[in-house]
Chains A and B, each alone.
Chain A
């Protein structure tokens, strides 16, 4: 019997939790998640890539592939200028098939977060054994092409999953899952075994695809949102002592467009303007949480749940 998604959440309201703190007195951890994606020209099973035309859809494919040819390199120049550690949400086929991009990421020690094999191959309804092999392949790709490193986390391809996803991620040694956006801190995610998995706060708010592609806001609004988010988190953390997390999610094919460069540089410059910010990777945030806060926060939530159960 697999665990239902609602039951994977470990509820406790922010105001009653034991404090989460970050290294060196930092109060807000920020991670940059560039989504470096590959989209099949014709995806398995055919189908329309975007519901726009039938396959192939060159407008869709070329727009995204340009993201890896030119826009990735422009975004990289901004990342380099501000030395922003990055956790790449990666279509893992890039490791094998686009070595130029892979090597550029490796040179900068970007952390790889799996984003599936291709962003047109979601996990929905995947049988258990197939999904099991998918994680095995994911780890093998990273070990083979990325300096023997194993992958610590995943953002599901096209934000997809199955009821087995959390359990299988743990089975294959992963410790964080970015599909859950229910908090400003990592939180324990219940799994079937003893392995520990946490949610890492990703964002569909500070994210160029929903903001610019789906909702049609200008680049300046991305900056306004990022500043408003970080300012508020810093103030709240100063007030209640709770360390918090913000994520800046980009896609080269959006944020790497020429007109966006000034805006992403403005965001990165902002991240470098306040010593209270811990600009780091998803893996470092979740490792720190696992080592220092996971057990205490889980135990505290369980005490509250037991008290509630007893009084009900």
Chain B
């Protein structure tokens, strides 16, 4: 018997997401008794100033003159060029920092970027341990108003563009603005993806069920994301660094109680790759690399654990 009559047009729980809760499920375990697995996902999205007719755009997004987050008027270059900074400078600075710390990284690319930025895909392919597909462009998103066929085409076009340009196989996906339709996990699985990073839903990977069986949600946290913390929440960068330190410390401690933890660091070339913020990435990765309880792995490896 249920007391609640949900409205017919409500979808009460995310499809494919099993409802499991800490202390009520078997603990997750890591090789060699490690307590915390960390994956670094570097985003290298491109911003298409005039999206093709019929594409769907986010309602708001970050970047630009620092005040407005709604769609800039045509002719304002601030958001376009600020996102582009990630591709000209930011992603390379973050890759250099990760290499110095000996930390493996996944880099997420989109089809507009690899099509229009000469050398981007080749250089990323030389330096990234994993390639992730990130849709069409930073500001062209998946939307519930798409037909299944449109969404399938969006996913396969992005995948084939990124794989062709990098010469690498991609098993993982990240949606621009983390935007999904109700069908997205099922379609990603249908397109052959093993994992996706959109859902900041847990502190361990979650194997989906139902029509998305075979797809793992590798949870890249929201509050530990640079764009969310430094732009959406406007944390000062020293406070963001402290947030990262305290998160790591607490997750390691919690592993003894609820089982091994996962931390997905979602970092943008145009955010943490800026000179004024980059030392936060450098110090954090160096601390992680030296931490005896931490294992650093790519998200594809986490999904396969």
Contact = CB atoms under 8 A, between A and B. Distances in A.
The answer to whether A and B interact is yes
Contacts of B74: 124-125, 163
B145 interface: no
A183 B119 contact: no
A161 interface: yes
A13 B234 CA distance: 28
Interface in B156-173: none
Given A123-B75, A179-B77, A210-B66, A204 B120 contact: no
Nearest to A12: B119
Given A11-B116, A160-B76, A182 B88 contact: yes
Given A4-B49, A123-B75, A215-B66, A9 B84 contact: yes
Interface in A109-127: 122-125
A305 B237 CA distance: 36
B182 interface: no
Interface in A215-236: 215-217, 221, 224-226, 228-233, 236
A234 B76 CA distance: 30
B19 interface: no
A308 interface: yes
A264 to B, nearest CB: 17
Residue among B50, B65, B77 having the largest count of chain A Cβ atoms under 10 Å:
B77
Contacts of B85: 181-183
User: Which of B50, B67, B75 counts the most chain A CB atoms within 10 A?
Assistant: B75
Interface residues of B, number: 40
A11 B66 contact: no
Contacts of B279: 228, 231-232
Contacts of A225: 237, 276
Interface residues of A, number: 60
B25 interface: no
Contacts of B80: 5-6, 182
Interface in B173-190: none
B199 interface: no
Given A6-B49, A181-B85, A210-B67, A13 B119 contact: yes
B30 interface: no
Interface in B240-293: 274-279
Contacts of A15: 92, 123
B229 interface: no
A304 interface: yes
B213 interface: no
Given A11-B120, A14-B88, A205-B276, A216 B234 contact: yes
A226 B66 CA distance: 16
A217 B236 contact: yes
Interface in A155-199: 156, 159-163, 165, 179-184, 187, 199
Nearest to B91: A13
B77 A5 contact: yes
Contacts of B78: 159, 179, 181, 204
Interface of B: 48-50, 64-67, 73-78, 80-82, 84-85, 87-89, 92-93, 116-120, 122-123, 234, 236-238, 274-279
Given A13-B120, A211-B66, A304-B118, 9 more contacts: A4-B50, A124-B75, A182-B81, A205-B276, A226-B276, A228-B276, A228-B279, A229-B274, A236-B275
Interface of A: 4-6, 9, 11-16, 122-125, 156, 159-163, 165, 179-184, 187, 199, 204-207, 209-211, 213-217, 221, 224-226, 228-233, 236, 244, 246, 301, 304-305, 307-309
18 contacts: A4-B50, A11-B116, A11-B118, A11-B120, A13-B87, A16-B123, A159-B76, A179-B77, A179-B81, A181-B78, A210-B66, A214-B66, A214-B67, A215-B234, A224-B238, A228-B276, A229-B274, A308-B122
Q: Which 10 A/B pairs are nearest by Cβ-Cβ distance? A: A210-B66, A182-B81, A229-B276, A182-B84, A232-B275, A305-B118, A308-B118, A214-B67, A161-B75, A5-B49
